[in-house]
Amino acid sequence: MFKEQAISEPRTNERIRVPEVRLVGPGGEQVGVVAVSVALRLAREADLDLVEVAPNSKPPVAKIMDYGKFKYEAAQKAKEARRNQANTVLKEVRFRLKIDTHDYETKAKRAVGFLESGDKVKAMIQFRGREQSRPELGVKLLKQFAADIAEHGVVESAPRIDGRNMVMVIAPLKNKSEARAKQNAKRAEEKVSRQKARADKNASA
């Protein structure tokens, strides 16, 4: 039984049933509007596929390409995006409204470490007693915190009340794979520096 192509996939080759298409060549060059039979012949001559990339255009836009390679690369990109999304962890940093400078700096440093590793940070202020009647102080502290670590992350969700607490989420500027690549490069750099220092020490001994 003939199985219809999935709707999410573009029509290719003989499945493109329109009289003419606006053709794009394999190198991205604009060929112009041609009969679909001509476009199919050009694709076959290049040993490639004719793929409908913009079906709603008038006429539809079709490109000559290696469809198998295109599908593989698209699948790899989607897989990488899912992996980065799945690997992002929500780390928590808790504050008191009356926090001392040293404690605040420690929390900020910890948050920077999480963001640099590609994880999100949930900054939470825990209100005590009458402090709940002064939510503006919590907003002020969280905004100050966001400003202090702005080089490493961006506010994803603004400060909001959550029961007896106030929370704000900060997302990293780099995704997980970028953060990992940077950490690996830094480790490699440090290893080379250590080896050089050792070699210099041995040479002068």
Between 192 and 71, the more confident residue is 71
Q: Are the beta carbons of 132 and 164 closer than 8 angstroms?
A: yes
pLDDT-wise least confident of 44-53, 92-101, 175-184: 175-184
Task: Give ∠ CA 113-117-122 in degrees, rounded to 5.
Answer: 65
- At residue 63, what is the residue type? K
Q: Does domain 13-65 have CATH number 3.10.20.80?
A: yes
Predicted local confidence at residue 177, as pLDDT:
58
To the nearest whole percent, how much of the chain has pLDDT over 70?
Answer: 87
Residue spans of the domains in the chain: they are: 13-65, 87-177
Task: Please check the confidence at residue 1 and state whether its pLDDT lies above 50.
Answer: no
Q: For the domain 87-177, what is the CATH code?
A: 3.30.110.10
Most confident stretch, 75-89, 93-107, 174-188: 93-107
- Residue 162, token pair as written in the block: 């959550």
**pTM for the predicted model, two decimal places:** 0.46
Confidence band, pLDDT 50/70/90 cuts, at residue 85: low
Q: How many Å apart are CA 59 and CA 47, to the nearest integer?
A: 24
- At residue 65, what is the residue type? M
Task: Please check the confidence at residue 121 and state whether its pLDDT lies above 80.
Answer: yes
Cis peptide, bond prior to residue 59, ω within 30 of zero: yes
Q: Do 13-65 and 87-177 come out as alike in CATH topology?
A: no
Q: To the nearest whole number, what is the mean pLDDT of the chain?
A: 84
Mean pLDDT (whole number) for 131-150:
89
Confidence band, pLDDT 50/70/90 cuts, at residue 59: very high
Backbone angles phi, psi at 50, to 5 degrees: -100, 120
